[in-house]
Amino acid sequence: MKKFQVDEKTNDKELKTLIKTEGLFLVQGLLTKDEIDQLKNVTLKYCKTNGLKDHGGIAVPDFLSINAFNSINWIKDHSKIHKYLKILLEDDYRLCSHNDIALNRVNYEWHKDILEKRWESYQKADLWKELDGQKYNIIKVLIYCQDHTKDDHALKIIPKSHLESGKHSISEQEVKGRGFRLHPKVGDVLFFDSRMTHKGQDSQDSKDRILVTMTFGKNNIFTNEYESGIIARQTNHKNKILNKRKIFRRRRLDFGESRNKRR
């Protein structure tokens, strides 16, 4: 674990080397307790009645576009997060639309955060080859809102797997014991190449688990294609949420009408 841990004293060369060779690094204590509490409070309040049921928990796709999250929009511009992004992506990068919050989601499948299934067609360029002098450089940022030093509910990763071209997901047999569980503390922030193979927790915890995720990419053809697919995917997910709300409201109206008829 310590191999991937860095702090604000770690120099730029070491950070770039970690991302290039291992595919990740974990910055200790990047966010304050107050900042984490803000993220948690807004999320828990919203998810009481909203969100998309997903992998045993709740997903909030594109939370930055939802009015209920306006008070925590500062997270996308956090200077300490961008300090590291500028080292990895230089100055020519952007938030490439992908952002979500997960509450108590379980994801037991080993996978890479690349476009898959119906969204795969958006990513036409080979992610592991140069194109017109450009390279794939998309970084995921994961913000941990609870302590995982004494449990196995944080991300499990395969170091160096971002260098392995291949399919979106693989089986446990294909992992061959290379998986490595992270144990971050509250306020730690993980930066990783989105091509790195990883998976979430295997089972539910008795305590709420919140994970805030944003994705940033260097301004080039790879990020353009990725973002197009992400926008289509997030729109689809948000439409599912809206449709469920409409069904719920319709059922409430029908229930009210049936009660009135019986009176």
Residue spans of the chain under pLDDT 70 = 1, 203, 241-263
CA contacts within 13 A on the Cβ side of 260: 6
pLDDT of 181-191, one tens digit each?
A: 999 999 999 99
Partners of 32 in the β-ladder? none
**pLDDT number for residue 116:** 87
Q: Contact at 8 Å (CB) between 107 and 201?
A: yes
DSSP 106: -
**pLDDT number for residue 144:** 97
Matching residue, tokens 């160096």: 160
Cα–Cα dist 128/136, whole Å: 7
**pLDDT number for residue 251:** 44
**pLDDT number for residue 167:** 81
Can you tell me whether residue 169 is helix, strand or coil? strand
Matching residue, tokens 């909203």: 50
Domains and CATH numbers, the chain: 2-254 (2.60.120.620)
Rg, the chain, Cα only: 20
Cα–Cα dist 162/191, whole Å: 13
Q: Contact at 8 Å (CB) between 16 and 88?
A: yes
pTM confidence score = 0.88
Give me the phi and psi of 252, to 5 degrees please.
Answer: -65, -40
* Residues 6 or more apart in contact with residue 1 via CB below 8 angstroms: 180, 182, 183
Residue 179 token pair: 């998986």
**pLDDT number for residue 244:** 57
